[in-house]
Amino acid sequence: MAKISKALRTIPIAFIKVYQWFISPLLGPRCRFYPSCSHYACEAIQKHGTIRGIGLAAVRISKCHPAHEGGYDPVPLAKQDAKPENNSESESLLNQPTETKSL
């Protein structure tokens, strides 16, 4: 199953790479965002899978026009990346009793 998933991610990324290598240099830099829409699409597909990645890329491309100011727009974190890490050291510091001084 993992091989099929990887193959499904490879196909759209290959099309994007062909665009980046052969078509984009002819058009010049036009993207209003950083990272560019094509780099965003590759990263979104790698992080979120083919279906959700293409959906995120489509939303991003729909915003890439002169009426939108553009700017920095990173790919959102995947669900497994968004979970906070279990840091036992910080938890132990938070759970220590505090000392109160009487005047």
Q: Extract the tokens encoding 81.
A: 């990346």
State how many domains the chain has: 1
Mean pLDDT taken over the chain? 83
Report yes or no on 25 lying in a domain. no
pLDDT for the residue 80: 73
Measure the CA angle with vertex 58, ends 82 and 56; round to 5°.
Answer: 5
Q: Residue 46: inside a domain, yes or no?
A: yes
70 occurs within a structural domain = yes
Q: Are 29 and 70 in contact, with CB atoms under 8 Å apart?
A: no
Q: Is 2 inside any structural domain? A: no
* 98 occurs within a structural domain: no
pTM: 0.73
Enumerate the β-bridge partners of residue 71.
33
Asked whether residue 4 is domain-assigned, the answer is no
pLDDT tens column, 62-97? 999 989 898 999 999 987 766 665 555 545 545 555
The verdict on residue 23 lying in a domain is no
CB-based contacts of 35: which residues, under 8 Å, 6+ apart? 43, 74
Domain range spanning residue 47? 31-77
